Amino acid sequence: MSSRMAGAALLRHLAPRLFAAEPVPGLAGRGLVPAAARVLSARMSSTAAEAAAKEAAASEQERQQHGGSAEKPTAADGQEKKGTVSYWGIQPPKLVKEDGTEWRWFCFRPWDTYRADTSIDMKKHHEPRAPPDKLAYWLVKSLVVPKQLFFQRRHASHALLLETVAAVPGMVGGMLLHLRSLRRFEHSGGWIRALLEEAENERMHLMTFLEVAQPKWWERALVLAAQGVYFNAYFVAYLASPKFAHRFVGYLEEEAVHSYTEYLKDLEAGIIENTPAPAIAIDYWRLPADARLKDVVAVVRADEAHHRDVNHFASDIHYQGMKLKDTPAPLGYH
Q: Which residues are annotated as a binding site?
A: 163, 202, 205, 253, 304, 307
Element housing 238 (H / E):
helix 217-240
Neighbours of 201 (CB within 10 A): 23
The CA–CA distances, whole Å, from 227 to 81, 91, 208, 233 equal 40, 35, 19, 10
Q: Report the distance separating Cα 152 and Cα 69, nearest Å.
A: 56
Q: How far apart are CA 114 and CA 37, in angstroms?
A: 71
DSSP 304-315: HHHHHHHHHHHH
Distance CA 323, CA 156 (A): 38
Binding site listing for Fe cation: 163, 202, 205, 253, 304, 307
Give ∠ CA 234-237-241 in degrees, rounded to 5.
140
State the DSSP code for 74: B
Radius of gyration of the chain (CA): 35
Helix (H, G, I), strand (E, B) or coil at 96: strand
Torsion angles phi and psi, residue 78, rounded to 5: 90, -10
In sign, the C-alpha dihedral spanning 137, 142, 143, 149 is positive
Q: Which string of b and e fits 45-75 if b means at least 16 CB within 10 Å? A: eeeeeeeeeeeeeeeeeeeeeeeeeeeeeee
b/e string for 240-266 if b means 16 or more Cβ within 10 A?
ebbbbbbbbbbbbbbbbbebbeebbee
301-330: buried (b, 16+ CB within 10 Å) or exposed (e) per residue? Answer: bbbbbbbbbbbbbbbbbbeeeeebbebebb
